[in-house]
Structure 1
Amino acid sequence: MIEVYSWPTPNGHKVHIMLEECGLPYRVIPVDIGSGAQFGSAFLAISPNNKIPAIVDPDGPDGRPISLFESGAILLYLAGKTGRFMPEDTRGKYEALQWLMFQMGGVGPMLGQAHHFRIYAPEKIAYAIDRYTNEAKRLYGVMDKRLASSTYIAGKQYGIADMAIFPWLRSWKNQGVEMGEYPHLKGWFDEIAARPAVQRGVEVLANARQPQITDKAREMLFGATQYKRH
């Protein structure tokens, strides 16, 4: 059984969704990032970047346990393990990879910054809010244009690129975006949201997350603790 070290964030939900879609047995081990659990030595041995999610698969590719961190790498590993949600042909594989990298290098970091400066930053900095809100809107536009001519993000088949992007768009209001302005993206979003495995995936640990960020959580996530050498 795969062990999943996670928390109910977009990056955590990517992996929860993939596991549910694949039907793989897994056990969730909560890593409360608001309390500083990500800095524990046991977790750092698996995820040296102190970020969730991470997994341990006792049945690795060579029959030995393997641990992995970085959500994109985990999605690729699970796709390889199951032979699902990744095109088999070379062209399709690289098309899927480019959109997965688009999420990892663009959608996640930029929408994360939009969340930070719009919601979490103790000081409201107009330049930063405008910068990342505008970048969020630009990325939504890129995806909307793509989906005007493609059934799914990476082509005709639903796959890991869709799973990687979807959780980040669930908070579109917090990003200063109006989803209705992107009709092709909205249609795709509604279709993905209706998938039973996706619904199960986003419910994993959903009750554990606090609706309000505490001072301690702010310190753990954004303060000096984050920059210590652990």
Structure 2
Amino acid sequence: MAPIKVFTAPTPNAHKIVAALEELGLEYEVQPVAIFQGEQFSDEYKKVNPTGRIPAIIDEDGPGGEPITVCETGAILLYLVQKTGKLLPTDPRKRCEALQWLFAVVTGIAISVREFAHYTMFAAEMCADPYPTQRYVGETERVLAVLEEHLKDGKEYIAGGEFSIVDIAMYVWVAAMIQRRGKIQSSKTGEEYVNITAWAQKLARNHPSFDKAVAACEPPPP
């Protein structure tokens, strides 16, 4: 079986796909994309993903044994679940809970955290209007507070009582915030999100796939 080609860059979205491939034991081949040089908008890469977004995968052994290209992290994660039958609960109720959280992460939480980082770290001096920063700082605070409450009482996993693509999808963003800020805490009160921190630390200890994903997505040396 040919390895799955995964188009990557050093970003949380790419990390989550490589981590999932590691967890599933699927062979993969990293195809670095130089996003800071704009390679994702090249004609060549747009043949893979017309929207010019990272990551994307090409599976030569797709449905029916035919090649398939899959883009968007939520779709890729679900494709890998469908391919292997792993990393998502099989019980209908637990599966529904997991899917709700997955879509909450990829369509809401991840976007808020990403834009929070953009406006506070990369665009702070370029954007004179305080509204975007206030908007995404506030929304990030709101969604992290929801997750903090959800993970109370020592809950090990976000949904379904088992490790799944939901934990992978959320962990990479939490890890990125911890890496940049030292810990994950409220920007308003300065208080640490202790439940999120405990959840993330346990995942990091028990799942070396995350560190492997970060290493695999590092750009090649010049």
* TM-score for both structures, normalised by structure 2: 0.87
Q: Distance in 2 between matches of 1:124 and 1:108?
A: 24
Matched, 1:181 2:192: yes
Matched, 1:111 2:113: yes
| SS in structure 1 at match of 2:197 | helix
| SS in structure 1 at match of 2:35 | coil
Q: Distance in 2 between matches of 1:124 and 1:163?
A: 35
* TM-score for both structures, normalised by structure 1: 0.85
**What whole-Å deviation, never above 9, does each CA across 1:196-216 have from its counterpart, x for those lacking one?**
11221122222559xxxxxxx
Q: Distance in 1 between matches of 2:216 and 2:129?
A: 34
Q: Distance in 2 between matches of 1:72 and 1:110?
A: 16
Shift of 1:155: 2.5
Matches within 5 A, 1:154-169: 154-169=159-174
| SS in structure 1 at match of 2:65 | coil
Matched, 1:151 2:153: no
Q: Distance in 2 between matches of 1:18 and 1:125?
A: 38
**What whole-Å deviation, never above 9, does each CA across 1:25-51 have from its counterpart, x for those lacking one?**
100001111111111223212211110
Query: Which AA in structure 2 matches 1:89?
Result: D
Query: Which AA in structure 1 matches 2:10?
Result: P
Shift of 1:80: 1.2
Q: Distance in 2 between matches of 1:83 and 1:118?
A: 39
Matched, 1:139 2:143: yes
Q: Distance in 2 between matches of 1:208 and 1:159?
A: 30
Shift of 1:130: 2.2
Q: Distance in 1 between matches of 2:76 and 2:84?
A: 12
Paired residue for 1:201?
A: 213
Q: Distance in 1 between matches of 2:94 and 2:77?
A: 16
Contact 1:136 1:177 in 2 (8 A): no
Query: Which AA in structure 1 matches 2:163?
Result: Y
Query: Which AA in structure 2 matches 1:200?
Result: K
Q: For this pair of structures, how many residues does the alignment match?
A: 210
Task: Return closer, same or farther for 1:119/1:80 CA change in 2, 3 Å cut-off.
Answer: same
Contact 2:20 2:77 in 1 (8 A): yes
Query: Which AA in structure 1 matches 2:196?
Result: L
Shift of 1:182: 1.5
Contact 2:5 2:58 in 1 (8 A): yes
| SS in structure 2 at match of 1:153 | coil
Match of 1:190 among 201, 204, 208: 201
Which stretch of the first structure deviates more once superposed, 52-61 or 131-140? Answer: 131-140
Where do 4+ consecutive residues of structure 1 move more than 3 Å? 173-177
| SS in structure 2 at match of 1:34 | helix
| SS in structure 2 at match of 1:80 | helix
Query: Which AA in structure 1 matches 2:44?
Result: A
Match of 1:32 among 27, 31, 34: 34
Paired residue for 1:222?
A: none
Which stretch of the first structure deviates more once superposed, 148-157 or 35-44? Answer: 148-157
Paired residue for 1:224?
A: none
Contact 1:118 1:124 in 2 (8 A): no
Contact 1:111 1:168 in 2 (8 A): yes
